[in-house]
Each structure stands twice: as C-alpha cells, then as structure tokens.
Amino acid sequence: MNWILASGSPRRRELLEMLGVPDLTIRPATGPERATPGAGPEQTVRELSLHKAQEVAQTCAPEDIIIAADTIVYLDGAILGKPKNHDDAVRMLTALSGREHIVYTGVAVLRGGELRPSTRPCAFARSRPRRSSATSPPASRWTRPGPTAFRAAARCSSRIWTAIIST
C-alpha cells in the first residue's frame, strides 16, 4: 500500500509528513478543475477534491490510498478563483485587506482504481481569517514564492488533515 498525494503543494506534503503518513508519493492531478456552475463553496471544494482524487486513482493499485484537496477563498458571496498572475494575486489580497473572508478546503480520500466510492469520501473545513491590511506587509510580499504565500488556506486545511488521517 502506498499513500499518494494528488497535489504538488509543498504545504500539503509537509502537513501529511508531520502527521506521520509513511512513504508519501506525490502525484499531482493535472486535469482541468471542474465544478458544478453556481455551486456553493462547500460543494465546490468537495467536487474539486474528489475529481482530483478520481483522476489519480485511475493510475494507482487497488491497495493505494489517494488523498486530494482543494482550497478556495469566499468573499462577498463569490468564490475567488486561482490568481492568473502576480498582479491578479495582489488585486485579490488587496480586496481581502482588513476584511473577514472564508477559506474553504475540501479533502477527498479514495482507494486506487476507485471512481465511485460507496461512502462519502469528502470532507471540508472553513476558517474566517481577517487579513489586517494590504500595506502591512505589502500585498505583493504575500504573493512571492515561499512560505508566506497564501498561508490562510494552509491553516484551514490543516484542521481536517488530522481528522482524516487518524480515521
């Protein structure tokens, strides 16, 4: 049995390694992200994480365990997509400045080859961070590669990783 993380996220890998997941293999999903148009944030992160897990599960042995996740930010009744570039990321962080928003993370767990799980393999968590100010530190600092980029999403997802791995 192998543990497969269907993500290239260094933070997700770090979280699973901190939880003691043995011999973690990184195999990011590469297909397009698709969710039901008009779906709410909970359904969206569940669908996106499940699609990622299903994509990777097709290439795994039946005994492998696939873990996939997706995180979104929800502000003023709208899901903020992934930033297209650095300027878009700065725009988003500026919009979040000093405002409460909701970060949703969905996690799906499947066995290799499993495409239609018999149980509900998805969970989600939400957190309500408040980014203090777009100028302290500058929003552009948060978008540079490295450990500070989009940490709120990592804080949200870390809550549910422990529950999923321990069950």
Q: How far apart are CA 127 and CA 131, in angstroms?
A: 12
First to last CA, the chain: 17
**104 beta partners:** 72, 126
Question: 3-class SS at 144?
Answer: coil
Count of C-beta atoms within a 10 Å radius of residue 11: 18
Q: Which residue is catalytic, options 70, 76, 87, 88?
A: 70
Q: How far apart are CA 53 and CA 68, in angstroms?
A: 5
Q: How far apart are CA 143 and CA 128, in angstroms?
A: 20
**DSSP state, 146?**
S
Pairing label, strands 65-75, 3-5: parallel
| 118: its two tokens | 């018999």
Helix (H) or strand (E) holding 109: strand 102-111
Tell me whether residue 76 is one of the annotated catalytic residues.
no
Active-site residues, by number, are 70
